[in-house]
Amino acid sequence: MSTVPARQEDPAQALMAVMMMLVACALLAGTTLIAKTLGPVGSGEAALHPLQVTAGRFTFAAIALMPFMVWLRPPLRGAAWGNHAMRVGFGWAGVTCLFAAASMMRLADATAISFLNPIVAMILSIPLLGEKVGPWRWGAAGIAFAGAVILTEPGSGAIQIAALIALLAAIFMGAEAILIKKLSDSEPPLRILTINNLAGMMLALTAASFVWRWPSPDQWLLLALLGVTMVSVQALFIQALRRGDASFVMPFFYTTLIFAAFYDFVTFGEIPTLAAWMGAGLIITGALVVAWRERMVRRRRSLDAKRPDTGPGLS
């Protein structure tokens, strides 16, 4: 009998996984559009501080998740609170930096730079997870960071502050990805989601209290939309990975860049430059090579586990 997983035999499930990922990407790009609309470009002097925008993201996301938390009651006993605390801190910092960068530069550029987070996670996995990184992945990292250099536009007389903030966002989100990986190996997804949003809400509201300005009714609506959209992105992302292999579905994640560029053009008339597309292309190429190589390494380790006499291959 065939040992091929059922979902690989069902084209309808694969198509559904792709569609869910594309919708998730469209919504994810929409969150940066909302952040930009709430910032100085969209609101002028009435702009909300990025800390307030992040507070809206976590607060309304927690409110949207509350019925599921009450109904399913994920157990909190035994949680790795230290890792959760670091994950929440890095996640909050990454989102805040991304929203700040999106409010000051082209959405496509900010999104592209944030795609460096898998590269950062790969580098951090060396000291934090004890992983070995071979020449393929180091080469991919070099390609991706070359793209980031292009996007910072060093030849324009001064490196863009907004681009550096976006780079900082990628670093924070890369660190968060490492902690998510550690948590997902031992804890149920709903517990991780619950702690992240509730603790993130408390942290974000505390930070926002120092720069608080009462939002207008329209801004309240956008903040609520931001939070609900982020929860929808998380749900769609999880469902997409359940219906299709990660190696097949994940490359579609980078369509977020296309949606971001489209939103920026339609809403603000921003057009990415040739250098911006080149930089984004290098970053995405590097990230895809890292994802492909990690898949190959996992497959090789799986084969090695079945053949004890075979040594591990280089990554």
Question: pLDDT of 137-159, one tens digit each?
Answer: 888 889 988 888 888 765 554 45
| Domain containing residue 55 | 46-230+277-306
Tens-place pLDDT, residues 236-261? 887 887 787 766 777 788 889 899 99
Q: What is the mean pLDDT of residues 90-114?
A: 92
Q: Is the pLDDT of residue 296 over 90?
A: no
**Residue 48: per-residue pLDDT:** 93
Q: Average pLDDT in the 76-99 region?
A: 93
In a domain, 207, yes or no: yes
User: 42-51, 109-118, 131-140, 291-300: lowest mean pLDDT where?
Assistant: 291-300
Question: Which pLDDT score is estimated for 58?
Answer: 96
Q: In this prediction, what percent of the chain has a pLDDT beyond 90?
A: 37
Indicate the number of domains in the chain.
1
pLDDT score of 182: 84
**Predicted pLDDT at 72:** 86
Instruction: Pick the closest to residue 288 from 244, 241, 249, 239 (CA basis).
Output: 249
Residue 237, CA distances (Å) to 15, 17, 21, 213 in order: 14, 9, 6, 33
Concatenate the DSSP letters of all residues of 99-144 into one string. HHHHTTS-HHHHHHHHTTHHHHHHHHHHHHH-----HHHHHHHHHH
Answer whether residue 20 is part of any domain: no
The model's pTM is 0.81
For residue 242, is it within any domain?
no
Which residue has tokens 């550029």? 109
Whether residue 312 is contained in a domain is answered as no
